[in-house]
Structure 1
Amino acid sequence: MFVLLLSLCSQVVAADKETLQLEYVASNAKIVDVINNPSILWQTTDDKVLNLGYSNLSYWVRTSLNIDEKEGPYLLEIAYPVLDQLDVYMLQEGNIFVHQQLGDKQPFVDRPFAHEHFIIPLPNGTHGKVALYIKVRSSSALQLPVVLWTNHDFLINDQVFRIVMGIYFGLMGIMAAYNVLLYFTIRESTLFYYVLYVICLALFSACLSGFAFRYLWPNSLWWNDQAILFFLISSVLTGTYFVMTLLEIGISDKWLYLGCRLILGLGLVLLFSSVFFDYAVMIKLTIAYAVSACIWGVFCRILRLAGKSRLATFYSIAWSSVLIGGIILALNKLDLISQTWFTENALLIGTAIEVACLSIAIGEKLNT
Structure 2
Amino acid sequence: MRVHPVVLLLILCSLFLPTVATGASDPVMLDTESERYDLSLALSYLEDESGQLELEEVRELRQSGDFQGGQSEALNFGFTESAYWFHVQLEAGAPPDEAWVLESLYPIMDHLELYVVYPDGDIARYYSGDSVPFDQRSRDHQHINFEFTIEPGQTLDLYMRAETSGAVQMPMTLWTKDAFYNNDHVMGRVFGMYYGLILALAVYNLLIFLSIRDVNYLLYVAYIAAYGLFQASLNGFAFEFLWPDSPWWNNRSIAFTMGLGMVFIIGFSQSFLSLKTNAPRAHKLFSILMLAFMGIAATSLVLPYGPVIRVGTLLTAITAIAIFVVGMKCWLQDFKPARYFMISWTLLLMGMLVYTLKTFGLLPANFFTEFSIQIGSALEMIFLSMALADRIRLVTNENQRLQRVQNEELEKRVSERTLELEEANNKLKELNAIDGLTQLKNRDFFYETLDNEWRKNSRKDNHISLLLLDVDRFKEFNDDYGHLCGDACLKHLARVYEDSVSRAGDYVARYGGEEFAILLCHTTPEGAETVAERVRERVENTPLEWDGEQIPVTVSIGVSSHIPRPKEDMTLLIGEADQALYEAKAEGRNRVKVYSEPPSEPEK
Does 2:150 match 1:129? Answer: no
CA RMSD of aligned residues (A): 2.0
Label 1:195 to 1:127 Cα distance change in 2 as closer, same or farther (>3 A). Answer: farther
- Structure 1 ranges of 4+ moved more than 6 A: none
Pick aligned residue for 2:56 from 32, 39, 47? 32
Q: Partner amino acid for 1:78?
A: S
Does 2:217 match 1:185? Answer: no
Q: Partner amino acid for 2:84?
A: Y
The alpha-carbon deviation at position 251 of structure 1 amounts to 6.7
Show the 5 A alignment for 1:240-255: 240-250=266-276, 253-255=279-281
Q: What is the match of residue 268 of structure 1?
A: 294
Show the 5 A alignment for 1:1-368: 17-20=36-39, 21-27=42-48, 28-37=52-61, 38-39=63-64, 41-68=66-93, 70-72=95-97, 73-93=99-119, 95-123=121-149, 125=151, 127-250=153-276, 253-306=279-332, 308=334, 311-368=337-394
Q: What is the match of residue 539 of structure 2?
A: none
Report if aligned partners of 1:294, 1:319 keep a CA contact under 8 Å in 2.
Answer: no
The alpha-carbon deviation at position 125 of structure 1 amounts to 4.1
TM-score, structure 1 as length reference: 0.90
Q: Secondary structure at the match of 2:225?
A: helix
Report if aligned partners of 2:258, 2:297 keep a CA contact under 8 Å in 1.
Answer: no
Bigger mean CA deviation after superposition, 31-40 or 184-193: 31-40
Q: Secondary structure at the match of 2:276?
A: coil
Q: Partner amino acid for 1:62?
A: H
TM-score, structure 2 as length reference: 0.56
Bigger radius of gyration among the two: 2
| Higher relative contact order, structure no. (Cα contacts within 8 Å, ≥ 6 residues apart) | 1
Q: Secondary structure at the match of 2:332?
A: coil
Report if aligned partners of 1:291, 1:323 keep a CA contact under 8 Å in 2.
Answer: no
Identical aligned pairs, as a percentage? 26
Label 1:281 to 1:316 Cα distance change in 2 as closer, same or farther (>3 A). Answer: same
Q: Partner amino acid for 1:209?
A: N
Specify every segment of 5 or more residues in structure 1 that has no aligned partner in the other structure, as ranges.
1-14
Label 1:94 to 1:330 Cα distance change in 2 as closer, same or farther (>3 A). Answer: farther
More helix as a share of residues: 1
Report if aligned partners of 1:310, 1:364 keep a CA contact under 8 Å in 2.
Answer: no
Report if aligned partners of 1:233, 1:290 keep a CA contact under 8 Å in 2.
Answer: no
Label 1:273 to 1:251 Cα distance change in 2 as closer, same or farther (>3 A). Answer: farther
Label 1:306 to 1:247 Cα distance change in 2 as closer, same or farther (>3 A). Answer: same
The alpha-carbon deviation at position 270 of structure 1 amounts to 2.2
Q: Secondary structure at the match of 1:275?
A: coil
Q: Secondary structure at the match of 1:95?
A: coil
Bigger mean CA deviation after superposition, 31-40 or 112-121: 31-40
Q: Partner amino acid for 1:357?
A: F
The alpha-carbon deviation at position 307 of structure 1 amounts to 5.8
The alpha-carbon deviation at position 35 of structure 1 amounts to 1.9
Q: Partner amino acid for 1:36?
A: E
Report if aligned partners of 2:107, 2:143 keep a CA contact under 8 Å in 1.
Answer: yes
Aligned equivalents of 1:284 and 1:24: distance in 2?
24
Q: Secondary structure at the match of 1:185?
A: helix
Q: How many residues align?
A: 354
Aligned equivalents of 2:68 and 2:248: distance in 1?
33
Label 1:76 to 1:302 Cα distance change in 2 as closer, same or farther (>3 A). Answer: closer
Label 1:163 to 1:59 Cα distance change in 2 as closer, same or farther (>3 A). Answer: same
Label 1:262 to 1:136 Cα distance change in 2 as closer, same or farther (>3 A). Answer: same
Bigger mean CA deviation after superposition, 265-274 or 114-123: 265-274
Aligned equivalents of 1:98 and 1:367: distance in 2?
65
The alpha-carbon deviation at position 32 of structure 1 amounts to 1.8
Aligned equivalents of 2:235 and 2:135: distance in 1?
17
Q: Secondary structure at the match of 1:66?
A: strand
For residues 195-225 of structure 1, the C-alpha deviation after alignment (integer angstroms, 9 at most, x for no partner) is 0001111111111110011111111111111
Q: Secondary structure at the match of 1:74?
A: strand
